[in-house]
Amino acid sequence: MTFFTHDKKFYKSLFAMLVVVALQNLVAYSVNMADNIMLGNYNQDALSGAATVNQIFFIIQQFAIAIGNALVVLAAQYWGEKRVEPIKRLTAIAVKLAFLTGAVVVAICMIFPTQLISIFTNDAAIIGQGTRYLSIVQYTFLLYLITNALMAALRAVGTVNISFYISVVSLIVNVAINYTLIFGKFGAPEMGVAGAAIGTLVARILELIIVTIYIYKKDQKINLMEHGFVKRFFSGDRMLRLDYTKTYIPIMISLVLWGVSVPMQTAILGHLSDDAIAANSVATTFYQYLKVIVVAMSSTSAVMIGNAIGRGDMQRVKSDARTLSVIDIIIGVVLGVTLMALRHPLLSLYHLTDDATQMALNLIVIMGFIMMGMSYQMPVSMGIIQGAGDPKFTMHMNMISTWLIVMPLSFMAAFWWKWPVEWVVIVVQSDQVFKCVPTFIHFVRYRWIKKLTRS
C-alpha cells in the first residue's frame, strides 16, 4: 500500500476531467455576467428586476445540483462495477424528480409572480421589470433541472466534454439573442428585460435538445435510450428509488439551506455602506471566477472516488482520496496567491472611490485566504466524502456552521458590534476556513467509505 496513488492513468483522468468541468463552469458563470452587463447598460430597473429573479433561480439551482450530485454518488459506483442497467434506472428516477420539481416551481411562479419578487424588493418599478422577466424565464427552470440531471448521468461515467460544448453554445446563443432583443438591433423590436428572458429561454431549450440528441445518437457508455427509457421513467425501481432518496435528501437539505443563507449574507453587507457594496462586489467577482476551479475539483473528486469504490479496492480508494486532498491544498494555495498577486491590476479596471478601492484591496487579500480554506474543505467534504456515499456529514456540518455560527455572528458583527467592513466579511466567510478542521478529522477516519450498490 502507498500513501499516494502512483497510477498515471489516475492523474490523466483527473486533470482531463478537471479542466473540462472548470471550463464548463467558467462559461456558465460568464452567461450570467453577460446578462448583467447588457441589462446594466440598458436600464438599472431592468437589471435589478432580473437580479431579483436570479435570486429565485439560485435556490432552484441548489435543487438541480442536489438531484445531479445524488445521481453521481450512486451511478459512479455502479460504473466502477461496469453495471449499466442500474445507472439507467437511477437516471430515470433523477429525471422524474427534476421534472416534478420543475413543474411545481413553474406553477408557483405562474400563480404568485408578484409575491415572489416582493420578497426581495418593495420598489414598484423593479417588481414590474422582475415579473415581466419571470413570466418568460420561469419555463427555463424546468428545462434546466432536466438538462442538469441528464448531464450528471454522463458525468458519473466520465463523459464531460459534451457539457462544455453545451455551455459554449448556450453562451453564444444567449449573448447574441440578448444583444439583439434587449437593444432592438438588426431590425428586431427593443424588448429590454423581456429580450433577456427570451435569450435565456432559447438557450435552455437548445441545451436540452443537444444533450438529448447526444444521449440518443452518440453516447456509447450508458445507452440510456436503449430498451425502454420511457418505461423506466414511469415504472421505476423501488429499492433504487429508496437508495436515491436516502442520498438526495441530505444533499438537498445541505445545499438549499446554504443557498438560502447566501442572499442573507449579501444583504448584511449591502446594509453597511455604498463603498462596502462596491468593494465587496468587485472582490467577490474575482473570487467567483477562481472558485469555478474548486467547484470543478469537487465534481471530479466525487466521480473518481465513486468509481474507485465501485471497483472494490478499498486501499486504492484511500490512496486516491489522500492524493486528491493534497492536490486540493496545492490548488488552494495557488489560487489564493494568484488572487492576491493580481489585486492591483484587476482593480485598475474599475473606477472606484479611494476608500472603496482600498477596501477592495483589503477584501481581495481576505478572499485569497478564504480561497485556500475553501479549496480544501469543499472538494474533500462535498467531493470525496459525499461522493463516497456519506452525504449526512456534509449536511450536519453545513447546517451547524451556517445557521448556528456564521449567520448569528455575521448579524452581530455588522449591526450590534458595528465592526469594520473587512472584519464583517471575515465573519461572513469564516466557515470556509474553520470547516477544514471537522472535514480533516472525519476524512482521516475513513468511515465515509460506503458501498452503496446493490447486487
Q: What angle do CA 344, 349, 352 make, to 5 degrees?
A: 85
The set of cell numbers assigned to 78 is 455502479
Q: Is 159 helix (H, G, I), strand (E, B) or coil?
A: coil
How far, in whole angstroms, is CA 281 from its chain's centroid? 19
- In tens, the pLDDT along 331-371 reads 999 999 999 999 998 888 777 788 888 999 999 999 999 99
What is the gyration radius of the CA atoms in the chain, in angstroms?
22
Helices and strands: H and E segment counts in the chain = 19, 0
Q: Which of these, 272, 144, 133, 129, lies nearest to 197 by C-alpha position?
A: 133
Question: Are 296 and 29 within 8 A, CB to CB?
Answer: no
Mean pLDDT of 421-440: 94
pLDDT at 159 over 60: yes
pLDDT digits (tens, 9 = 90+) for 408-417: 999 999 889 9
| CA pair distance 173, 18, nearest whole angstrom | 25
From the list 66, 140, 75, the residue with the least C-alpha distance to 97 is 66
Give the pLDDT score at 233: 67
Question: In this structure, what DSSP letter does residue 348 have?
Answer: T
Alpha-carbon gap, residue 389 to 386, rounded angstroms: 5
Q: Mapping DSSP to helix (H, G, I), strand (E, B) and coil, where does residue 33 land?
A: helix
**222 DSSP 8-state letter:** S
> Cell numbers of 414, please?
455588522
Q: Is pLDDT at 58 greater than 90 in this prediction?
A: no
Q: What is the pLDDT of residues 193-217, one digit of tens each?
A: 999 999 999 999 999 999 999 998 8
DSSP letters of 343-388?
HHHHHTTS---HHHHHHHHHHHHHHHHHHHHHHHHHIIIIIIIHHT
pTM of the complete model: 0.91
pLDDT tens per residue, range 68-88: 999 999 999 999 999 999 999
Joined together, the cell numbers standing for residue 168 give 459554449
Alpha-carbon gap, residue 387 to 242, rounded angstroms: 17
357 phi and psi angles, rounded to 5 deg: -65, -45
What are 345's three cell numbers?
491590476
Q: Quick one: pLDDT at residue 373?
A: 97
Helices (H), 184-273: 193-213, 229-235, 238-270
Cα–Cα distances in angstroms (integers) from residue 109 to residues 39, 60, 104, in the given order: 22, 12, 9
Q: Are 88 and 224 in contact (CB under 8 A)?
A: yes
Angle between helix 274-311 and helix 421-429 axes, rounded to 10 deg = 20
